Amino acid sequence: MTDRLTADLASGALAEALADIAEDAARVILPYWRSGVVAEAKADDSPVTQADREAEALILARLAELYPEVQAVAEEQVAAGEAPTSLGEWYWLIDPLDGTRGFVEGRESYTVNIALIHRDVPVAGVVTAPATQMTWRSGPTGGGAFRRRFGEAWQAIQVRERPASPIALLSHSITDDEAARLATRYGCGQWQGTDSSLKFCLIAEGRFDAYPRTGPTSEWDTAAGQAVLEAAGGRVMGEDGQRLRYGKPGYGNGPFVAMGG
Ligand SMILES: Nc1ncnc2c1ncn2[C@@H]1O[C@H](COP(=O)(O)O)[C@@H](OP(=O)(O)O)[C@H]1O
Ligand SMILES: [Mg+2]
């Protein structure tokens, strides 16, 4: 049943199809950005908008058309109590709009995220930034990672070798004191605050070196970014120093660090 899925995964055709879907979701989101879009508070007090919901509906419908045998776990569906009760070996993890807070405040760093999980590993992923019209994706198995501006050709990307003065990326959700402490712990003398899974992509394309996170995230916040970063030569490790794994209770991540070269 999954022959076509595994062939498309190995050739990179699957990640290319995910990129087209994520860019179409971006086209649904963009008219809401800087338009005075209204955010509602979810049960966990995080914001959600009509843009999140419409983008997620588009992604779920398109994935179901392409690979009907694969189940999907998506942020807003889970928030509405509609998560699948049991998962197969393969499933999608979807965050239709990561960095909703920044999106509502009119910042550029919000993303669309689609990942394919096999057992407990993200094996393919796509992250799209609608505001800057950029997409990052994993390649064929063992074949690197790529980036494109909407409508342009794919370019290969890779992490940079750790420079003499590494720079960390950190969530805006922590205090400056906490950020400085975290950056120092990972050997970074400088740091920059950035929303969303864009942090993984900026490390994957060799512009930054580390993204440590101690606060909670959900698995759909990290899966696509991890797939892109690992394909570009980077790593994402949990507190035990091992590769960050998926399918944990409540789809919750503990502390992790994403690293470049
Ligand atoms: N208490 C919490 N539990 C789970 N995830 C949380 C959380 N607080 C923040 N997050 C996640 O962190 C993401 C934002 O990350 P960052 O701070 O790096 O921009 C949010 O994504 P959404 O915007 O999709 O809700 C949210 O899912
Ligand atoms: Mg998110």
**Cα–Cα distance measured from residue 215 to residue 245, given in angstroms and rounded to the nearest whole number:** 17
Quick one: average pLDDT of 42-54? 87
- Ligand 1 atom at minimum distance from 213 CA: 18
Q: Which residue has the higher pLDDT, 85 or 118?
A: 118
100 lines ligand 1 (CB under 6 A): yes
Write the burial class of residue 2 (CB in 10 Å: 0-12 exposed, 13-18 middle, 19+ buried): middle
Cβ–ligand 1 distance for 197 under 6 Å, the answer no
Q: How many C-beta neighbours within 10 Å does residue 45 have?
A: 6
Task: Work out the average pLDDT over 175-201.
Answer: 96
ipTM of predicted assembly, 2 dp:
0.95
The pLDDT value recorded for residue 47 is: 81
Residues 167-185 as b/e (b if ≥16 CB within 10 A, e otherwise) read: bbbbbeebeeeebbebbee
Q: Which ligand is nearest to the CA of 79?
A: 1
Q: Over the stretch 137-183, which tens digit does the pLDDT of each residue have?
A: 999 999 999 999 999 999 999 999 999 999 999 999 999 999 999 99
To the question of whether residue 3 is assigned a binding role by annotation, the answer is no
**Residue 18 counted as an annotated binding residue:** no
Residue type, 48: V
Structure tokens that stand for 96 in this block: 């239709």
Question: Is residue 95 marked as binding?
Answer: yes
Q: What is the number of the ligand 1 atom nearest to the C-alpha of 252?
A: 4
Does 8 count as an annotated binding residue? no
State residue 1's pLDDT score: 63
Ligand 1 atom closest to the Cα of residue 101 is 23
**211-254: pLDDT as tens digits:** 999 999 999 999 999 999 999 999 999 999 999 999 999 999 99
Instruction: State whether the beta carbon of 138 lies less than 6 angstroms from ligand 1.
Output: no
pLDDT computed for residue 8 by the predictor:
98
Atom 15 of ligand 1, nearest CA residue: 196
Give the chain's domains with CATH numbers: 3-156 (3.30.540.10), 167-259 (3.40.190.80)
- Closest-CA residue to 19 (of 92, 127, 122): 127
SS3 182: helix
What SS3 state is found at 165?
A: coil
Alpha-carbon dihedral sign for residues 85, 52, 56, 120:
negative
* Residue 244 per-residue DSSP state: P
CB of 217 within 6 A of ligand 1: the answer is yes
Q: State in Å: Cα 106 to ligand 2 middle.
A: 16
Please give the pLDDT value at position 179: 96
The answer to whether 96 and 103 are in contact (CB under 8 A) is no
196 lines ligand 1 (CB under 6 A): yes
Judge if the beta carbon of residue 171 lies within 6 A of ligand 1.
yes
- 200: left (phi > 0), else alpha (psi -120 to 50), else beta? alpha
Ligand nearest to the CA of 44: 1
Residue 187 assigned as binding residue: no
pLDDT for 45: 78
How far is Cα 239 from Cα 23, in angstroms, rounded to an integer?
Answer: 33
* Cβ contact 74:25 at 8 Å: no
The protein residue whose alpha carbon is closest to atom 12 in ligand 1 is 217
Ligand nearest the Cα atom of residue 101: 1
Q: What is the pLDDT of residue 132?
A: 98
Given a cut of 90, whether residue 29 has pLDDT beyond it is yes
CA distance 26 to 225: 16
For the chain, what is the mean pLDDT? Answer: 96
Classify the C-alpha dihedral 62-64-67-73 as positive or negative: positive
> Is residue 98 marked as binding?
yes
- Pocket flag, ligand 1, residue 194 (CB < 6 Å): no
